[in-house]
Structure 1
Amino acid sequence: MQQIEIEPGTVLDGELIVTDKEGKPDFEAMMRRFQTNLVKDRQQVQYVVFDVIYRNNQNVSRMPLVKRKELLADFLGPDTELLAQIKYVIGYGKELYDAIKQEHLEGIVQKQAQSVYEIGKRSHSWLKVIDYNFAEVMISGYLKNKLGWLLQFDNGVYAGMMELGIPSEAKNVFYSIASQLITREKENVVYIEPIIQCKVKYRNMTSKGLLRLPSFVEFIIQ
């Protein structure tokens, strides 16, 4: 990344990505890229720029988003294998989201065209819309020292660990029932009979067949 030439006094907002053979962002490949010390195993990383905050040592964060996008295009130039500007459209949000779903991409970010860049804050003018997948799974255990529920598919195969989106009421219900279903304990894990079923949403399946970032939706009562 040191090969990227950005003029001094410039602060950008962006993300490092590794793409797959179809040119789509590959989260697992990105993680592997930074976990290996072998040069031959290092895949090409690209910095994708979302926004500009400082230009020529001037704070441009209060400029309207569309103006900042124009500024980016002016000084970044054409995309390269190391540096690219995120593509955007004005309007046609539903059509863009439908296209993203067809390509099995993660989602889109909706931003008000005149919005400013709120440094260090989550802007109410920006909304991330994720194309979630859904699955019905069984809970087969939980962690002792922190929130984490072990999930498995109907065929008994491990599906991943759920740590997100679990409301307090659901926790109370689960632990009151799970305490009566314990089959064994091992170090930090308590295993239970996998009879509690729930619906979860997740980003995608990993290469190992696990749910990526599963989040609780609801219990399934049959």
Structure 2
Amino acid sequence: MFISPMLLQTAPGPSSRSDNIYEPKIDGHRLIYSQDSEDVHLYTRHNNECTRQYPEIANYAFPYDIDLDGEIACIDPLTGAVDFDSVMSRFQARRSDTIRRLTKELPVTYVIFDILRYKGEDLRNRPLMERKAILREITLPNAHFGVIPYIEGAGEALFAQMQARAMEGIVAKRKNSVYETGRRSHAWQKVINWTYTEVYITGYRKQEFGWMAAVPGTSGKLRPAGVIELGVSPLHKQAFRGVTPQLVTGEDKEFVHLEPRLRAKVRMRNWTKSGMLRSPVFTEFIL
């Protein structure tokens, strides 16, 4: 049975409250593990079933009914870093032969951070630390399952470690918080370790909003780096519309192309392996 997960608010920065625990933020995708008898189903946060994609998780059951919340991650065996691109390769696989191959080439780990049902009992109204204690005692089916570590109080120190290791950030959780199904709650907050860069705006979408971004390539020429969709205020959009008519160089079915004379600062969740901005957010124009 799918349980809509509790969602995170965004905090402006790390804290070290004594009534919070702090966890590393894993750079994968959210996964709800649901087992009734020996029937296992895996779901994304948007209720998309992905049981077939992760046989190393779905084919191994607990000896009781259980629902878990966590993150699917791929760990680079050489660096120990979490590899988001590899997770997406696993998630997008649909052919049985591709799934079998990727299970060997890009094995996943299910990093569990909450237990929602245990031996048929709904635990969501119990305080977080009670749920953590139950989770700590269960025996995991195989080495592809793990439980997220946490510390009490020292959120700023943990965030500094995440920055030093170029990891995604941290999550702060109130110790006495219940599990608020399908809601974004201040009891759980994320602090993202943003990366900042400068880009050239080289065009815009004709239909839904989006600015084309480019960055200098190895040859010095600009190369495409993604589309900026977030963080742009109505005032910035108005200023953009005021200057773009004189910069138009052409258009295609989807985009109007511009001379690369507008620059902007963006924040993002790092670069993809193909050199694209990951989740870019507009910060400001560079004059």
The alignment's TM-score, normalised by the length of structure 2, stands at 0.72
Report if aligned partners of 1:4, 1:82 keep a CA contact under 8 Å in 2: no
| 1:27 CA drift (Å) | 0.7
SS of 2:199 mapped into structure 1: strand
8 Å contact from structure 2 (residues 116, 124) kept in 1: yes
Deviation for aligned residue 1:8: 4.0
TM-score by length of 1: 0.92
CA distance in 2, matches of 1:189, 1:81: 47
Residues 165 and 215 in structure 1, CA contact (< 8 A), matched pair in contact too: yes
Q: Does 175-184 or 109-118 show the bigger shift?
A: 175-184
- Secondary structure, in 3 states, of the residue corresponding to 1:175? helix
The share of aligned pairs that are identical, in percent, is 36
Cα deviation, residue 70, structure 1: 0.8
* 1:31 corresponds to: 88
Query: Residue 59 of structure 2 aligns to a residue in which SS?
Result: coil
User: What are the residue-to-residue correspondences of 1:17-166 with 2, within 5 Å?
Assistant: 17-21=73-77, 22-36=79-93, 37=95, 38=98, 39-42=100-103, 43-77=106-140, 80-154=142-216, 155=220, 156-166=222-232
Gap runs ≥5 in structure 2: 1-56
Higher strand share: 2
Change over 3 Å in CA distance of 1:169–1:80 after alignment to 2: farther
Does residue 14 (structure 1) correspond to residue 80 (structure 2)? The answer is no
How many angstroms apart in 1 are the aligned matches of 2:239 and 2:109? 45
Q: CA deviation at 1:7?
A: 4.2
SS in 2 for 1:63: coil
Instruction: Work out the CA distance in 1 between the residues paired with 2:113 and 2:238.
Output: 41
Mapped partners of 1:145, 1:76: distance in 2: 51
Partner of 1:68: helix, strand, or coil?
helix
Higher relative contact order structure (alpha carbons within 8 Å, sequence separation ≥ 6) = 2
Using the TM superposition, give the Cα deviation of residue 179 of structure 1 relative to its aligned residue in structure 2, in angstroms: 2.6
Partner of 2:275: 209
The DSSP-based 3-state class of the residue aligned with 2:246 is: coil
CA RMSD across the alignment: 1.7
Distance across 2 between alignment mates of 1:220 and 1:26: 31
What is the CA–CA distance in structure 1 between the aligned matches of 2:231 and 2:63, rounded to whole Å?
42
Deviations 1:171-207 (A, max 9, x none): 2221232233111001111101111111100111111
Stretch of structure 1 that moved more, 83-92 or 167-176 = 167-176
SS in 2 for 1:179: helix
Distance 2:121 2:190 in 1: 28
CA contact (8 A) 1:4 1:83 kept: no
Tell me how far 1:35 sits from its aligned partner: 3.2
